[in-house]
Amino acid sequence: MEMDEIGLAESLAVAGLDYVGLADADVAYVPPTLASFGGIGDTLVVAVKVGPDEPQRVEKLNAAWLQMCLDSEFFDDDRRFLLGVKIEDDEDTEQAATFWWAKVALMESWDLAGAGAASLLGHGFGLPSFVMLSLDGNLVLRASREQDDSSGLSLMRDLHLVPELRSHGEWMAGRHLYPEFTRAAVRRWLDAHQVTS
């Protein structure tokens, strides 16, 4: 299955995101598949958890997301950032789907945790699940559904400094479970972000 950019743009518009285009595949961004594993220790900037029965859950999640973005300068001047999206899914193979970064801009009216989560950005209304990256590649913002049906938001920086994540990337780059596009992107990211001890 090849990516339907028109359908993607329509789905993102429901959440209040304007689809600008796919990020250049040659840029050494951490791939969404690897970024979704998150960070550990000093890379975590802030985390928020909203319970499944909290009143105004969607509003709280949207407000927390926006505050994280503003406090960390996650957006550029045009409120643009990157969002992990599925670009290919070959159902005839055992390989995982291929994900990459779509460049998006936040519209004036938006609802990531409600309408967005009910569409492309989650598991249903009030259950957002996504991974985002700042345009400079230094900040990762994730939304995830927890086992107790609460929703978590976490903002991390400098994932290339996390030994466990680098090790997982090395493992991914050597496994044919992942498509060549993903393995090459992981290798490119690891090579561009060498850590010296």
**pLDDT tens, residue by residue, 23-73:** 999 999 999 999 988 655 556 777 889 998 899 999 999 999 999 999 999
Residues across the chain: 197
CA distances from 138 to 18, 62, 81 (A): 22, 22, 11
pTM, two decimals, is 0.92
- Residue 63 β-bridge partners: none
pLDDT, tens digit (0-9, with 9 covering 90-100), for 168-197: 999 999 998 899 999 999 999 999 988 776
